[in-house]
Structure 1
């Protein structure tokens, strides 16, 4: 005879137990969840495959935006690849830096989208420094982050006996790899040397046009610094740096033609100045030679007159005067010895030979 006092404990009984009830409820919830997910997925697929959405995704506007994004990414890649040491060297034979190639590619508008984005970014940074208190915001963010961290750490230790910041602390602090530091320092060195080399090339007129342009730039800046704030000068400088090369590239033939004409005119004027200076030098040399000849003739004439007066007064005989004149002319001067004297006899002989003969 079966015990029916506790029918819920009898597994053979047809009445459902609590475990089966929970299992049925779980399966029902799982089915409902799957149904909701399937319905949402089908709705998303329907929206995605709708003709209007397809037209928007594959329309001309989206296609244009996609092409522009691809070309912009490609131009930035070309700009990064331009960082190579150029083959040209300075007038002293030194190699240039890879920033020469980078800035040339950037400012020559070889990649217009990348150059335009860099220009807009620089202008926005200047305006941000002018109108946005970046230092103040940075300090505010610093004290807020540190305050929240300290409060969370203290509250966690008081309540849970473990701080929240300590729990989020990594097992190993992040450090900058040595390779990254070396590459960064190499880039900084190249950038500094770029400005140092270019400044010397301008000062020593390796390119006279660049020196003249730098002169006018410094002169205009000297005048504007009295009436223009620093951010305004920075704005003008950045704009000129980006758009003056663009103006030259756009009108390269016209500007080169006028520069060549100016160079020819300057060369002609320089040649005229050289010819004029040569003529004046020749005339000065000729006048000096004539003056020297005139004074030499006068000196000879005065010597002759003095000799004639001495002969007339009987101070000198005509023979002595002629002999003295020939001696003064150097005809009877002894030759310099070619060897060292052997002894005192040789020295006396040379002294006797060097004495002038006067009667």
Structure 2
């Protein structure tokens, strides 16, 4: 009996408090001062400006979302690009300035938040407060009222991620990963020389900056460069294009001059090489002709008679006759030892061996 009366008094107090709160809110809402402020805020110039900017921002974000479509352009290997190529091009080209500005400022704020705000510790703190509050409410309700209070805030059905949403999210993640993979390969294999050169300088500068710049600072510099470079180019397009055209003309003229100079020197070297080759070829032919003439001379000498006298040219050494040379001995010597004098007498040109005196 006591529990029922206590529950009834609590319910009456609760209903009375709710009615008084609603009555006070209605009085404040219907007060003339409140109506005047509402009219001023809703229909004043500030409100019109806010509504106009809100509508434009919403439209630009919608255009940015609609730009996520695969472009008609393909890679050098013929592979189709992802829809993130169109999305990031639309975002970084400042075609929707309000959406790009919000994205840039949000990225910068996130970098500073991860650097200076203990977001992870705060997340665990908020989670602990929420879990402690629900647990305390449930225990207090069961002890005082006999029923837990957590079921009051508990939803009728727990939220689940639909399968279609999950599959679309996974497909979107796949497209994002493939965007970075494809772009890295296109830059690495110089599909666009300008982009490859810019990536080279960015990597070189990052190599030196990372020695004394923290990671968050390097990320902030990269983000600012990525967002602000297209904006600077878009704001000064004519001036930058004129200077780039002049630089291109200077480089092309220097390249043509070097090409002509190289062709001139190559022509001279080629002519010199041909001249030396002709000289060496003529000398080689002369040497080959002389060698062939000497190889045919024994046949000519064999055609002459054996006892024909040799002819000598003026100024040449005197020719010798066969009779000028000694005859070979026809008999063996009688004694085993021949004196030196006998050998000398036998070696006389055209004479017979004489006995020694």
Counterpart Cα distance in 2 of 1:38 and 1:165:
29
CA distance in 2, matches of 1:179, 1:211: 39
Aligned-residue offset at 1:171: 5.4
Under a length normalisation based on structure 1, what TM-score does the superposition of the two structures give? Answer: 0.69
Say which SS state the counterpart of residue 247 (structure 1) adopts. Answer: helix
Deviation at 1:37, TM superposition (A): 6.0
**Which deviates the most, 206-215 or 176-185?**
206-215
Displacement of 1:283? 3.4
Please list, as runs of the form range in 1=range in 2, the aligned pairs for 1:303-322 lying within 5 A after superposition: 303-310=288-295, 314-317=297-300
Structure 1 pair 197–283 and aligned structure 2 pair: CA distance change class (3 A): same
Distance in 1, matches of 2:32 and 2:212, equals 64
Of 130, 139, 160, the residue aligned with 2:115 is: 130
Q: Deviations over 1:90-125 (max 9, x none)?
A: 222222211111111111111111111111111111
Equivalence for 2:320? none
Q: Indicate which of 204, 207, 227 corresponds to 2:192.
A: 207
Q: Higher Cα Rg: structure 1 or 2?
A: 2
**In structure 2, the residue corresponding to 1:315 is in which secondary structure?**
helix
CA positional deviation for 1:54: 3.8
Say which SS state the counterpart of residue 299 (structure 2) adopts: coil
Determine the C-alpha separation between the residues in 1 that align with 2:175 and 2:301: 89
Q: Which residue of 1 aligns with 2:334?
A: none
Residue of structure 1 equivalent to 2:160? 175
| 1:100 corresponds to | 85
Q: Tell me: CA distance 1:135–1:318, structure 2 relative to 1, closer, same or farther (3 Å).
A: farther
Q: CA deviation at 1:130?
A: 0.9
Is 2:176 the counterpart of 1:191?
yes
In the superposition, the TM-score normalised over structure 2's length comes to: 0.69
Other structure's SS at 2:298 match: coil
Match of 1:234 among 206, 219, 226: 219
Structure 1, 211-220 or 272-281: larger mean CA deviation: 272-281
**Which structure 2 residues correspond to residues 226-265 of structure 1 after superposition, within 5 A?**
226-265=211-250
Deviations 1:222-271 (A, max 9, x none): 22111211111121111111111000111112212222222232223333
- 2: distance between equivalents of 1:45 and 1:162? 41
**Alpha-carbon distance between aligned partners in 2 of 1:218 and 1:129, rounded to the nearest angstrom:** 24
| 1:281, distance to aligned residue in structure 2 (A) | 3.4
Alignment gaps of 5+ in structure 2: 1-18, 304-357
Instruction: Flag the 1:104–1:318 CA change in 2: closer, same or farther, 3 A.
Output: farther
Task: Give 2:316's aligned residue.
Answer: none
Q: How many Å separate the matches in 2 of 1:200 and 1:280?
A: 39
Q: How many residues align?
A: 284
Q: What CA RMSD, in Å, does the superposition of the two structures yield over aligned residues? A: 3.2
State the 1:188 CA deviation.
0.8
Aligned counterpart for 1:58 among listed residues 43, 54, 76: 43
Matched, 1:91 2:76: yes
Q: Could you say what secondary structure the match of 2:159 adopts?
A: coil
Taking a change above 3 Å as real, the CA distance of residues 45 and 142 of structure 1, as seen in their structure-2 partners, is closer
**Hey, what does 2:310 align to over in structure 1?**
none
Note the residue ranges of structure 1 that are not aligned, 5 or more in a row: 1-32, 321-359
1:15-164 correspondence to structure 2 within 5 Å:
44=30, 46-47=32-33, 50=36, 54-156=39-141, 163-164=148-149
Measure how far apart 1:183 and its partner are.
Answer: 0.8
User: Kindly tell me: are residues 38 and 228 of structure 1, through their superposed partners in 2, closer, same or farther at Cα, counting changes over 3 Å?
Assistant: closer
- Structure 2 Cα separation of the partners of residues 75 and 308 of structure 1: 97
